[in-house]
Amino acid sequence: MAPSHPPTAIETLGEDALLLRFGDGIDVATNARVHAAATRIAALRPPWLRDIVPAYASLALFVALDAFPPTTDALVAAERWVRQQVLDQTGADAQPRRLEIQVVYGGADGPDLAAVAAHAGLSAGDVVERHASADYTVAMLGFAPGFPYLLGLDPTLAMPRLQTPRTRVAAGSVGIGGAQTGIYPRPGPGGWRIIGRTNARLFDARSDQPSLLLPGDRVRFVPVDALS
Amino acid sequence: MTIRVLAPGLLTTVQDGGRHGSRALGVGHAGALDPYAHAVANLLVGNAADAPALEITLTGPRLQFDSGARVAICGAHVDARVDALPIPCWRPIALPAGSVLSIGACRDGARAYVAITGGFRADTVLGSASTDLRGGFGGSAGRALVAGDVLDVNGDTTVDDLHIARWWIDPSPDYDHAPVAIVRLLAGRDATSPVDGVFAGEWRVASASDRQGVRLEGASLHVAETIERISEPVSPGTVQLPPDGAPIVLLADAQTHGGYPRIGHAIRADWPRLAQLRPGDRLRFVPCSLAQAAQARREQAQRLARIALAIQARRSGA
């Protein structure tokens, strides 16, 4: 049992949410504290809690206002619960899930691979090797349903987004946006540098488990010549 | 029964009370942008307040009913007709089989809701029938209506002749159509420079506004501290300030996370007013406390509860 790290601050986000802040930066250690707190809160899940939304360094808790009597200040009650149940307790460090995702790099599936290689001063093969040898953490899902923001990109591969986003990026496209990498679940507009593509289905709203990846998961990319 | 979509309107979607429990997966709230008008429309036809209904945007659809139906239209003033006969909003209307309901342009507002007795039988996904346009699921095929769509409605209603109820719901004070809309803001995380900049002048609604957010034009605002920000959870109502200095008030289709500074948060009681803003409309923000927001929310809920009781009395009596 490891102590769960208390948030450095608890703020309100509008009328019906608390924002628990665990740091200011994008780093694996801070993000791990977010996921530890999210796991503990999800296990306790009080009936008034509607949504638990992790981000890089913060965690939002959305409250069902009508679950409290009209005379009760719902956010005050929720904050009291957080301080009692989450901050003073110990929580088990959950073992993260580990997933592998097959990717075809370059060619029509990765139109920006050459540009990323040129920007990094590497060969295309080196970019693929570095991208596929890292151990990534799903910091959060956002932007679109099932879109993972992955921490752990080799810093030499970091590259600013396109000046003008593409109007259409294929589903499964693996991209680099600044110091992060991610995967587009659906076709649509996008400004990340696309270096490859997977045919893994990232999001299926009708499934019992709609999202292939969950916040806190560990991910590796496996280069393949063709998608099975 | 079924309804055939003869013409879809500008952006007509099936919406209910919205989606909860999936924000951690990047799934937004969706749901009616104007929950108040949506609720009154449903109550007028005997549905639960959050039943699936059609949300129309600026210009409405043309719908053909294959059997009798009881409908109500609430929200923006719309030019609505059954066949050639103009019909009023904010009251129940019985349509005989074969009727064509034509909803033209919205006046004094941007969104109207068409509810039907029994409710639309929509795709319920992740606990809600609302259309998630970004995710492409829920509602009718996960998208706005297109000509030729056939909508299923729960149950049949027998109606011999067109009947327009002689009573209606007075939507004031929630729809005051003031020349300058007033929206109350809770404090945000980030201060602006000058500190009261967001409250200082009038804002104009930009034409790029949509279900994700109301985009504003006016004085260029800046945050007091230009530190780098990382993406954090956001919520409908959050007022973001991108680097171009033009604020965006997030609405129901907002994404779940955002990296822009947050300079305020529009209170829930004013979400109907935000939903009704048209491109070019003027808007002013005033500051508000959490206690005042809760009070405004309770008062609005009480008005809705009184409307529900009045409708119930009408439906059981007259």
pLDDT at A20: 96
* Domain B180-287 top-level CATH class: mainly beta
CA distance A147 to chain B (A): 7
Tokens of B22: 């999936």
Q: Any idea which of A64-68, B192-196, B258-262 has the lowest mean pLDDT?
A: B192-196
pLDDT at A87: 65
Average pLDDT over residues B68-74: 97
Answer whether residue B186 shows pLDDT above 90: yes
CA distance A132 to chain B (A): 24
Binned at pLDDT 50, 70 and 90, residue A4 comes out as: low
In the block, tokens 């009616």 appear at: B32
DSSP string, A17-39: EEEEE--SS--HHHHHHHHHHHH
pLDDT at A219: 98
pLDDT at B236: 97
In the block, tokens 């899930």 appear at: A97
Average pLDDT over residues B189-212: 92
pLDDT at A90: 54
Find the largest Cα–Cα distance for chain B.
67
Answer whether residue A92 shows pLDDT above 60: no
Query: Is the CB of B127 inside 8 Å of chain A's CB atoms?
Result: no
Fold of A2-91: Gyrase A; domain 2 (3.30.1360)
What would the pLDDT profile of A8-30 be if each residue is shown by its tens digit? 899 999 999 999 999 988 999 99
pLDDT at A88: 59
Answer whether residue A1 shows pLDDT above 50: no
User: Which of B232, B263, B290 has the most A C-beta neighbours within 10 Å, making it the best mutation to test the interface with A?
Assistant: B232
Binned at pLDDT 50, 70 and 90, residue A202 comes out as: very high
Q: Indicate the residue of B22, B189, B294 with minimum beta-carbon distance to A11.
A: B189
CA distance B125 to chain A (A): 6
Answer whether residue B314 shows pLDDT above 60: yes
DSSP string, A114-141: HHHHHHHTS-HHHHHHHHHHS-EEEEEE
What would the pLDDT profile of A104-135 be if each residue is shown by its tens digit? 999 999 999 999 999 999 999 999 999 999 99
Binned at pLDDT 50, 70 and 90, residue A89 comes out as: low
Architecture field, domain A98-223 = Beta Barrel (2.40)
pLDDT at B177: 80
What is the Cα–Cα distance from B164 to B101, expressed in whole angstroms?
13
Q: Indicate the residue of B20, B135, B235 with minimum beta-carbon distance to A14.
A: B235
pLDDT at B38: 98
In chain A, which among 59-98 make CB contacts under 8 A with chain B? 59-60, 62, 64-65, 70, 73, 75
First-last CA distance in chain A: 41
What is the Cα–Cα distance from A156 to B223, expressed in whole angstroms?
31
Binned at pLDDT 50, 70 and 90, residue B317 comes out as: low
CA distance B191 to chain A (A): 15
Answer whether residue A33 shows pLDDT above 80: yes
Query: Is the CB of B229 inside 8 Å of chain A's CB atoms?
Result: no
Q: Which residues, in sequence order, are CB contacts of B167 under 8 Å at separation 6+?
A: B91, B314, B318
Q: What percent of chain A has pLDDT over 70?
A: 94
Query: Is the CB of A47 inside 8 Å of chain B's CB atoms?
Result: no
Q: Are A10 and A85 spatial neighbours (Cβ–Cβ below 8 Å)?
A: no
Domain-by-domain residue ranges, chain B? 2-171, 180-287
Q: Indicate the residue of A16, A57, A145 with minimum beta-carbon distance to B27.
A: A145
CATH 3.30.1360.40 domain span(s) along chain A: 2-91
CATH 2.40.100.10 domain span(s) along chain A: 98-223
What would the pLDDT profile of A133-168 be if each residue is shown by its tens digit? 999 999 999 989 999 999 999 999 999 989 888 999
In the block, tokens 């003033």 appear at: B77
What is the Cα–Cα distance from B191 to A93, expressed in whole angstroms?
37
Q: Are B229 and B200 spatial neighbours (Cβ–Cβ below 8 Å)?
A: no
Average pLDDT, chain B: 94
Element containing residue B36 per DSSP (H, E): helix B35-44
pLDDT at A164: 87
Element containing residue B39 per DSSP (H, E): helix B35-44
Tokens of B310: 């009045």
Q: Indicate the residue of B20, B290, B294 with minimum beta-carbon distance to A51.
A: B20
Q: Are B98 and B64 spatial neighbours (Cβ–Cβ below 8 Å)?
A: yes
* pTM (2 d.p.): 0.94
ipTM, 2 dp: 0.94
Binned at pLDDT 50, 70 and 90, residue A71 comes out as: confident
